[in-house]
Amino acid sequence: MKYANITIGTFLARPNRFIANCEIAGSVQAVHVKNTGRNKEILRPQVQVALVKSNNPKRKTKYDLVAALCGERWINIDSQAPNHIAYESILDGTIQLPGLAEPITTLRPEVVFSDSRFDLFGSTATESFFVEIKGVTLANADFAAFPDAPTIRAEKHVRTLMAARASGYGAYLCFIVQMSGIREMTVYKQRDLKLYQEILAAQKAGVTVLAYGCAVTPGEIKAVYPVKLNLARQFHELTADELAL
């Protein structure tokens, strides 16, 4: 997934979850943040950020903030990117969905099943499946975790994946880790115990949970390699003092 019209700026502050103040070419501008999560360990004062300039003259904000430089690596925080990446990467074979005995013939976004709208629906000549995609932006060194905040929506999707599996569909929960250098990831048990328990139950019910790491630059993000899922490993979130080191 490539972005056009990329500009590098400096993050200053985030007055609310939709807006950030950034310095761009010597002037301070309000920009749209394409992620409503906390991102407190990513969007810190004076970090470099990647901004996409809009071609829409009617917009109140001229730029979208899509990535930030944390230490030596760029982290993409565009909440719409994981769906695009997963779709492209499943089609081109970068992301492998275990258990499919035949080639995928159909892959469509945003398909309703029961009380949920799954990110992808696909089929082969003999079976059909759903894929729910979650973006991961929280990490400590080479270990990532999801979620960065409690998410009732994710819990609902996991429960519905179990229902789909019970109805005979293939069911996949796919984490897209929106940064490079990650070797393992987990579900952040201390942050959302209910989601952690739902995912454990989903695995027992036949839902396949997988994760892929990405290569990220200011203007591009693409899935590259599978990341080990380790639900037994506890995640330690960096403190403000540790982030400042």
Q: Where in the chain is the domain with CATH 2.40.50.580?
A: 6-76
pLDDT digits (tens, 9 = 90+) for 120-159: 999 999 999 999 999 999 999 999 999 998 899 999 999 9
What average pLDDT score do residues 154-165 get? 96
Is the pLDDT at 239 greater than 90, yes or no?
no
Topology annotation, domain 6-76: OB fold (Dihydrolipoamide Acetyltransferase, E2P) (2.40.50)
pLDDT digits (tens, 9 = 90+) for 34-92: 988 888 889 999 999 999 998 888 889 999 999 999 999 999 999 999 999 999 999 99
Q: What is the pLDDT, as a whole number, of residue 242?
A: 59
**Single-letter residue type at 215:** A
Is the pLDDT at 173 greater than 70, yes or no?
yes
The sheet carrying 128-136 orders its strands as 106-113, 116-123, 128-136, 170-177, 208-217, 220-229, 184-187, 143-146, 138-140
Compute the C-alpha angle 146/117/197, nearest 5°: 35
Q: Where in the chain is the domain with CATH 3.40.1350.60?
A: 81-244
What average pLDDT score do residues 110-128 get? 94
Report CA Rg, the chain: 18
| Exposed / middle / buried, residue 229 (Cβ in 10 Å: 0-12, 13-18, 19+) | middle
Distance CA 206, CA 209 (A): 9
Structure tokens at 190: 């201390």
Strand 116-123 to strand 106-113: parallel, antiparallel, or no bridges (unpaired)? antiparallel
For 191-204, the DSSP string reads T-HHHHHHHHHHHH
User: What is this structure's pTM?
Assistant: 0.94
Helices and strands counted in the chain (H then E): 4, 15
pLDDT digits (tens, 9 = 90+) for 184-221: 999 999 999 999 999 999 999 999 999 999 999 999 99
Q: What is the pLDDT, as a whole number, of residue 240?
A: 56
Topology annotation, domain 81-244: Trna Endonuclease; Chain: A, domain 1 (3.40.1350)
Q: What is the pLDDT, as a whole number, of residue 174?
A: 98
Q: What is the pLDDT, as a whole number, of residue 8?
A: 97
Q: What is the pLDDT, as a whole number, of residue 26?
A: 92
